[in-house]
């Protein structure tokens, strides 16, 4: 059965429905799935997700990598990062999601949005939505994480919003060193500058990353940018 729109578009439609009618996101997703001829969103996601960008990209990651996932709002960067976490957990690794943007309930709802029951990975997945999130906090929380753990940080530009936190470059360097020492994969979700014009290029790139504070973007080993279901992946040369 062919979907009426790419799955990222259907997810955005469900989010709008959830906000407009005040229903939980998972219920809105099921209603969108029903309109596409599926009994539940999990069935639609399973059909659409047989081959996804995440399961193509994840095998290219290596322990110690710093990965940047960037897109404008509503283009699926959070869901992509969660899909990468799921790929890690499917292979038996742990994953952690640190968010200064969402609540734990939001994160679990977004897992359901990609057809994943959070209970399935209860022992492998942790969510931290503390206001204290910074490089030092993440390093402390992940000190005992096993090698191969995927750590998602939502999002890059919020890491140094508190004045008492070190500069962004200092924090990213610390996380890079920590990832390499511990054999972790650290994924940073990133905002894109408003000057990015999709009519000029189909996908943003490293030059479009929003940087309210200076940061050496060469610290990232791999990048993944999204726009309108277009996905561009690059590894540092």
In a domain, 101, yes or no: yes
Number of domains in the chain: 2
Q: Quote the pLDDT of residue 17.
A: 93
Can you give the residue range of the structural domain that contains 129? 53-235
**Same domain assignment for residues 148 and 175:** yes
In a domain, 1, yes or no: no
pLDDT in tens, 87-107: 999 999 999 999 999 999 999
What's the average model confidence in pLDDT over 11-37?
92
Residue 143 structure tokens: 């000190």
Q: For 49-53, 74-78, 152-156, 196-200, which range has the lowest pLDDT when averaged over its residues?
A: 49-53
Question: Sign of dihedral through CA atoms 90, 96, 99, 104?
Answer: positive
Q: Quote the pLDDT of residue 85.
A: 97
**Same domain assignment for residues 42 and 89:** no
Domain CATH number, residue 97: 3.40.50.300
Residue 237 confidence class, pLDDT cut points 50, 70, 90 = low
**Same domain assignment for residues 89 and 182:** yes
Could you tell me what percent of the chain has a pLDDT over 90?
Answer: 75
The whole-angstrom distance between residue 131's C-alpha and the CA centroid of its chain comes to: 19
Average pLDDT, the chain: 92
In a domain, 107, yes or no: yes
Tokens 């640190």 found at: 98
**Same domain assignment for residues 128 and 143:** yes
**Same domain assignment for residues 96 and 115:** yes
pLDDT in tens, 159-200: 988 889 999 999 999 999 999 999 999 999 999 999 999 999
Q: Quote the pLDDT of residue 50.
A: 59
Question: Sign of dihedral through CA atoms 85, 57, 142, 215?
Answer: negative
**Same domain assignment for residues 42 and 62:** no
**Same domain assignment for residues 107 and 145:** yes
Nearest to 53 by CA among 76, 30, 36: 76
**Same domain assignment for residues 187 and 125:** yes
In a domain, 2, yes or no: no
What's the average model confidence in pLDDT over 44-52?
70
**Same domain assignment for residues 41 and 95:** no
Cα–Cα dist 189/102, whole Å: 13
**Same domain assignment for residues 128 and 13:** no
Above 60 in pLDDT, residue 1? no
Could you tell me what percent of the chain has a pLDDT over 70?
Answer: 97
Residue 51 confidence class, pLDDT cut points 50, 70, 90 = low
**Same domain assignment for residues 200 and 228:** yes
Cα–Cα dist 135/158, whole Å: 11
Which spans in the chain are helix H? 7-21, 25-35, 41-48, 53-57, 77-90, 104-113, 135-141, 168-182
The whole-angstrom distance between residue 126's C-alpha and the CA centroid of its chain comes to: 14
**Same domain assignment for residues 130 and 22:** no
Q: Quote the pLDDT of residue 148.
A: 97
């Amino acid at each position: 059965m062919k979907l009426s729109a790419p799955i990222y578009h259907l997810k955005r439609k469900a989010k709008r429905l959830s906000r407009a009618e005040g229903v939980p996101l998972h219920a809105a997703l099921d209603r969108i799935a029903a309109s596409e001829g599926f009994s539940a969103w999990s069935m639609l996601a399973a059909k659409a997700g047989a081959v996804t960008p995440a399961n193509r990209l994840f095998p290219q990651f290596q322990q110690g990598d710093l990965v940047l996932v960037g897109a404008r709002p509503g283009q699926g960067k959070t869901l992509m990062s969660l899909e990468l976490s799921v790929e890690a957990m499917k292979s038996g690794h742990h994953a952690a999601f640190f968010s200064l943007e969402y609540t734990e309930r939001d994160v679990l709802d977004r897992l359901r949005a990609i057809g994943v029951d959070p209970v399935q990975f209860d022992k492998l997945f942790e969510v931290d939505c503390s206001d204290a999130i910074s490089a030092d906090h993440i390093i402390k929380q992940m000190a005992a994480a096993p090698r191969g753990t995927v750590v998602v940080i939502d999002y890059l530009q919020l890491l140094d919003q508190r004045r008492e936190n070190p500069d962004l470059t200092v924090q990213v360097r610390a996380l890079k060193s920590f990832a390499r020492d511990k054999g972790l994969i650290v994924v940073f979700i990133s905002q894109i500058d408003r000057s990015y014009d999709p009519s000029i290029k189909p996908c943003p790139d490293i030059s479009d990353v929003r940087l309210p504070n200076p940061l050496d973007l060469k610290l990232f080993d791999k990048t993944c940018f999204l726009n309108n279901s277009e996905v561009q992946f690059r590894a540092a040369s």
